[in-house]
Structure 1
């Protein structure tokens, strides 16, 4: 069995790796478990890590180790590479291929499965996808491992920052969230404003976030400035969360990307740009915060639910492959939010290939500058328990 990691790491990518290794060992059907060293290109050279050699003590560290133990990549695969990759897998005696990643990785996974189906000598190769993305933009699953931990990090960070701003309410603070074309993660910042404290039942919403802007809604700079000014005049300190992927009505990013190769995009500093608008146009002090990759690798804020489901996804992928399934991805189907219950499903890989799942409009408030309670109900279970409780600032009711 060969396991490949693709795309950006997460706080629970190694948890899925752990689940897969454990399930393979327990199956009695897999002689060796290998890891592709830094992504799919390792298949060409056979640059593999022998995961079967990991001792139990090392293995047990994986679920709480950030990023990717075996290494990942954004190596682009061309159409004529797929038959070569399948031939290499057949030459190496790989019977099961598990690919852990997001949209781009699932696209590669599907194309490899198609190429294998056309190659007689690879007829026994089973290829299964394990979902992973902090963006939560994979079709065919209620949510993806990696998202819950990133959501917890963002919500917890915004809750702490909101209290700092409330203590010295003299400026506008703008936090930039990852998420590219989907606002699922940006929206999770709303959890910082809706949880009660342990001292009384005052919601955090009076402290922020006051405004949340997702990439699904065209961004209007004049309206943004008007909303910030209105809130600043009323409450003093204003907390704004903005997606890195904000675009104007024409679909153009409000800040041009600093680097882009294919689907790999390094966005400009949206938060810094918005702060400059506030300072120049409104004459109000403003600060920008950009957690960036800190938000996807934090083990301190790792969600226990996210970790457990990542382990389950890895294990289910192994069981699916051994049972003869191929060209599928493990998905999660929600049965209930309260109490929280999900079940795993097998999703045809063709349904997930580069098919971005964006945030539904019904999860936004009517003004499209905040989040509806229905989203909070959906997201709350995924962050793995309540955020730390704080006493309300003096004067807050």
Structure 2
């Protein structure tokens, strides 16, 4: 049950940025204010920044309706993000004591964390600590990840805009290859984010329409990747087509689990969660094709562009991100803790969805993959079921607020210096 006397809220952002994460932040802020909270603090660089005592009063930076609209249209994490893994309570209780001392000093009632899988692990641990040690602070997770791999939710805010950008970009890459005589006899390999889940790479199929054939093959990390079969398929395609475009997940791997990108260069860097940095998959495959077939190749890595392309944002995605932020704040205000807001799809045509809250313990550290029956039998494309699932999420546009021909973002010089 919510406190009779409301105090303050704190919100943070964690993990990889998206085109929609700040819309969720705007939703948290607006709902907290509408529900009578005094202050809404923003952690600078998530819980890692909080541990260092870095936070701001958001009312000093969101001062008008125009600021809120700019925030919704601003890509990446306005507050700054982090990839910080909280230790287990038994491993380092002092970290938790420090966090809760800061929260009590700020008179926090509700802690909202916007992020993906690893961020929900943070919500789980903090809510568990609060229950064990008798704190009344409520901890609620707000989903965010372009990877779309969170359990129990139909999809995650951020994914729709990334999918829209990928579908658009792959279509433009196909047109580029088709139009140039010098590109004939060439294979273009487009590398798309996705360590274990192929939701983003599958979105390349959105480019297929009456005016575009779409990519010639799509390889997801859910299935083992056979390099020789890939070479053979490209050979056959080149006999029929002047220009070939193939989309691959950065995380495709051989049957024994070795990432394709490791064939060329075994990455040494791992983040706080033990994740290897995956890059170079397309480059390696192009080198193999050039050596084995002798064809022209081009490696195209969408890299961070696919998660920061607010100029190609989905209106459905931005609106849902805002609603999910508001729903997280509402849930915390009404007494929920140790929960995450999820999106429940009600229908595809017309598309309708609502929100619910689920136990974060059933979400954290789990991973939702593309169903096997949404991938073709030979593993080289996605099925119509996949397209039916993703297409509603990319609908509509969000017009940027343009200044001198370039989109304007929410920015405060003094605030950014704090990051």
- State the match for 2:403 in structure 1: none
- State the match for 1:185 in structure 2: 200
Deviation larger for 160-169 or 217-226: 160-169
Of 229, 236, 239, the match for 2:245: 239
Q: Do the aligned residues in 2 keep the contact of 1:151 with 1:383 (CA within 8 Å)?
A: yes
- State the match for 1:19 in structure 2: 27
- State the match for 1:393 in structure 2: none
| Matching of residue 337 in structure 1 with residue 344 in structure 2 | no
- State the match for 1:33 in structure 2: 40
Q: Do the aligned residues in 1 keep the contact of 2:27 with 2:322 (CA within 8 Å)?
A: yes
CA RMSD across the alignment = 1.3
Deviation larger for 79-88 or 274-283: 79-88
Provide the C-alpha distance between the structure 2 equivalents of 1:100 and 1:310, rounded to a whole number of angstroms: 10
Report the CA distance between 1:196 and its aligned residue.
Answer: 2.8
- State the match for 1:85 in structure 2: 99
Q: Do the aligned residues in 1 keep the contact of 2:160 with 2:317 (CA within 8 Å)?
A: yes
Q: Do the aligned residues in 2 keep the contact of 1:18 with 1:62 (CA within 8 Å)?
A: yes
Report the CA distance between 1:163 and its aligned residue.
Answer: 1.1
Of 301, 305, 323, the match for 1:290: 301
Of 106, 109, 115, the match for 2:123: 109
How is 1:137-286 mapped onto 2 (pairs within 5 angstroms)? 137-168=149-180, 169-193=184-208, 195-197=209-211, 204-205=212-213, 208-256=214-262, 258=267, 259-261=269-271, 262-286=273-297
Q: Do the aligned residues in 2 keep the contact of 1:134 with 1:179 (CA within 8 Å)?
A: no
Report the CA distance between 1:385 and its aligned residue.
Answer: 4.0
State the secondary structure of the residue aligned to 1:105. helix
How is 1:43-122 mapped onto 2 (pairs within 5 angstroms)? 43-53=50-60, 54-56=62-64, 57-79=66-88, 80=92, 81-120=95-134, 122=135
- State the match for 2:5 in structure 1: none
| Matching of residue 319 in structure 1 with residue 330 in structure 2 | yes
TM-score normalised per structure 1: 0.92
State the secondary structure of the residue aligned to 1:130. strand
Report the CA distance between 1:275 and its aligned residue.
Answer: 0.4
Q: Do the aligned residues in 1 keep the contact of 2:85 with 2:122 (CA within 8 Å)?
A: no
How many residue pairs get matched?
A: 374
Provide the C-alpha distance between the structure 2 equivalents of 1:299 and 1:324, rounded to a whole number of angstroms: 34
Provide the C-alpha distance between the structure 2 equivalents of 1:39 and 1:255, rounded to a whole number of angstroms: 30
- State the match for 1:134 in structure 2: 146
Deviation larger for 165-174 or 299-308: 165-174
TM-score normalised per structure 2: 0.87
Report the CA distance between 1:75 and its aligned residue.
Answer: 2.3
State the secondary structure of the residue aligned to 1:266. coil
Cα deviation digits, residues 192-228 of structure 1 (max 9, x gap): 01x234xxxxxx22xx300000001100000000011
State the secondary structure of the residue aligned to 1:33. strand
Provide the C-alpha distance between the structure 1 equivalents of 2:240 and 2:248, rounded to a whole number of angstroms: 21
Q: Do the aligned residues in 1 keep the contact of 2:85 with 2:118 (CA within 8 Å)?
A: no
Q: Do the aligned residues in 1 keep the contact of 2:117 with 2:363 (CA within 8 Å)?
A: yes
- State the match for 1:377 in structure 2: 388
